Amino acid sequence: MTILRRSILILDDDPDFLRLLGLWLESEGHDVFASSDPVTGVAHLRSRIPDLIISDLRMPVIDGMGILEEAQRLDPDLPVILLTAHGSIPNAVEAMRGNAFGYLSKPFSSEELQDLVKAALSQRQASQETRTLRATLRAQAGQLVLHRSPAMAALVDELARIAGSSASVFLSGESGAGKERIARAIHAASPRAERPFVAVNCGAIPAELAESELFGHVKGSFTGAAHDAPGLVRSADGGTLFLDEIADLPLALQVKLLRVLQEGTLRPVGASREISVDVRVISATHQDIHNLTASGEFREDLYYRLHVIPLRVPSLCERPEDIPLLAQHFLDRESGRLGRGIQGFSPEALDKLVQRPWPGNVRELENAITYAAAVTEKGWVAADAIPDAGRQGGQSALPPLQDAKTAFERAYLENLLRATGGNISRAARIAGRHRTDLYKLMRKHGLAPQLFKGNDDSESD
C-alpha dist (Å) from residue 306 to 166, 209, 260:
12, 23, 11
Given a contact cutoff of 8 angstroms between Cβ atoms, the answer to whether 195 and 238 are in contact is yes
Average pLDDT, stretch 88-112? Answer: 75
The beta strand positions in 323-416, using DSSP E, are 342-345, 379-381
pLDDT 10s digits, 368-388? 999 999 999 888 999 999 988
* Predicted pLDDT at 261: 93
Q: Is the pLDDT of residue 193 over 80?
A: yes
Q: How large a percentage of the chain has pLDDT more than 70?
A: 89
Helix spans in 50-177 (H): 64-74, 89-97, 110-139, 150-162
Average pLDDT, stretch 172-197? Answer: 94
CB atoms within 10 A of CB 4: 11
**What is the pLDDT confidence band of residue 391, given thresholds at 50, 70 and 90?**
low
* Predicted pLDDT at 433: 84
Strand, coil or helix: 48: coil
Q: Are strands 275-276 and 265-266 parallel, antiparallel or unpaired?
A: antiparallel
**What is the pLDDT confidence band of residue 108, given thresholds at 50, 70 and 90?**
confident
Q: Taking all residues of the chain, what is their mean pLDDT, rounded to a whole number?
A: 86
* Predicted pLDDT at 298: 94
**What is the pLDDT confidence band of residue 97, given thresholds at 50, 70 and 90?**
low
Degrees (nearest 5) of the Cα angle 287, 290, 294? 120
* Predicted pLDDT at 88: 57
C-alpha dist (Å) from residue 224 to 227, 228, 253, 272:
9, 11, 21, 19
Q: Is the pLDDT of residue 395 over 80?
A: no
* Predicted pLDDT at 18: 93
Q: Which residues have CB under 8 Å from 226's CB, separation 6+?
A: 219
Given a contact cutoff of 8 angstroms between Cβ atoms, the answer to whether 439 and 112 are in contact is yes
* Higher pLDDT, residue 428 or 368: 368
Average pLDDT, stretch 146-174? Answer: 93
* Predicted pLDDT at 441: 83
Q: Is the pLDDT of residue 394 over 50?
A: no
pLDDT 10s digits, 277-287? 999 999 999 88
* Predicted pLDDT at 305: 95
Degrees (nearest 5) of the Cα angle 148, 149, 150? 125
Q: Is the pLDDT of residue 184 over 60?
A: yes
* Predicted pLDDT at 143: 82
Average pLDDT, stretch 325-346? Answer: 93
Q: Is 443 exposed, middle or buried (0-12, 13-18, 19+ CB in 10 A)?
A: buried
**What is the pLDDT confidence band of residue 79, given thresholds at 50, 70 and 90?**
very high
Average pLDDT, stretch 229-239? Answer: 91
Q: Which of 188, 102, 53, 181 is nearest to 442 (CA)?
A: 102
DSSP letter string over 309-331?
EEEE---GGG-TTHHHHHHHHHH
Q: Is the pLDDT of residue 75 over 90?
A: yes
pLDDT 10s digits, 435-450? 888 888 887 776 776 6
* Predicted pLDDT at 403: 62
pLDDT 10s digits, 38-67? 999 999 999 999 999 999 988 888 988 899
Q: Which residues have CB under 8 Å from 237's CB, separation 6+?
A: 195, 196, 277, 278, 279
3-state helix, strand, coil in the chain (%, to 5): 50, 15, 40
pLDDT 10s digits, 286-306? 889 999 999 999 999 999 999
Q: Is the pLDDT of residue 112 over 50?
A: yes
φ/ψ of residue 53, rounded to 5: -120, 135
φ/ψ of residue 191, rounded to 5: -65, -15
In whole angstroms, what is the distance from residue 386 CA to residue 350 CA?
9
